[in-house]
Structure 1
Amino acid sequence: MEIVGEWIGAYFDSMLSDAEVPIRATLLVSGEKLTGTMVDERSSFTQTIQQVISGIPSDSKHLPTWKLFASQFPDAILTTKLPENSRLHGKIKSTSIRFEKEYAGRQTSTWSAANLETTTENAPQYTIVYTGELSLNSSEIRGRWVVFESFLFGLGKRESNSGEFHLRRV
């Protein structure tokens, strides 16, 4: 199975109302080792406080705090800007593909509410793992992605978001 080359496609994000985010990838393989780069064609996202809350798991201990924030700032808007470029590293075995996506750069998050604005900038504190299957004719990859957030000063990771993706050979 041959996957070296240019691919285009999209991932679907449930925290963004299943928005389709176009992506481009360049994949390289040496043995079972997969490396490459990915470009997110859309890297800026705007959400209302209600949309942010709808993406928080109902059993999250932070949900009451977010609801209190929303009651005090019902017009709050979050704009997140992710780095467009990322590095990929992982493995391919037969038709199974698994790689981690690591953003190259910093992320900014800006909250706007009641004529106030605050912005934070930091390196993304999470890992995105893509797992998928290469089609029999090596023209398409379909699968799932999962975001694992770091906690306890990076000692642990927990799943915070997931969705589907697809890529097709250019």
Structure 2
Amino acid sequence: MPVRVTPASRAHLDAVRRAFRALPKDLRNAIRREQRSQVGPIWREEMAASLARTSVPARALRPQQRVFRTGTRVKAGLPMYLVAGASTRTMRGGGLPVDLDAPYEFGSNRRSNYTRYNRRSKNGTPHTVTRRAGLQLPPRQSNGYVVYPALARALPRVIGTWVHAVNQRIERAIDGS
């Protein structure tokens, strides 16, 4: 679900970006603080809704939920970054969400491929193990499962909020309040 930006909205965003860069530093910092406080809840709400759409019974959380439920935040600035699944805290199985986010977002096209490796049994005899290592991942999907759909729904709201915050703060600064 690609998000389309029309030429008119792009021109409006470029005008806001130029106005933002021309502002004094303290005013830019105030806008960034407001940006985090206003856009953060929108992004977390859309990520939670996206994870709820991919939910299964409570007894078995899907891997996407385990990977993407942490590390969802807004990195303010120009440009602003919406971050998801960026936690570096080790999960129970030993994986890091930051390493597993791409495979769980886009899936794998190697689901039916077999992986062979050698190991030793508890008795000490070597043997070959054949398994399908890709079955844990969802099928390949170029427009994503969790983050991209959430981004497509959140982006219009985020842009509107950001443009409104910049315009409102500039008007307050001009009025002297």
Q: Report the TM range for the smaller structure's normalisation.
A: under 0.3
Higher helix share: 2
Q: State the structure with more CA Rg.
A: 2
Q: Which has the higher contact order (CA 8 A, sep 6+)?
A: 2
TM-score (norm 2): 0.26
Higher strand share: 1
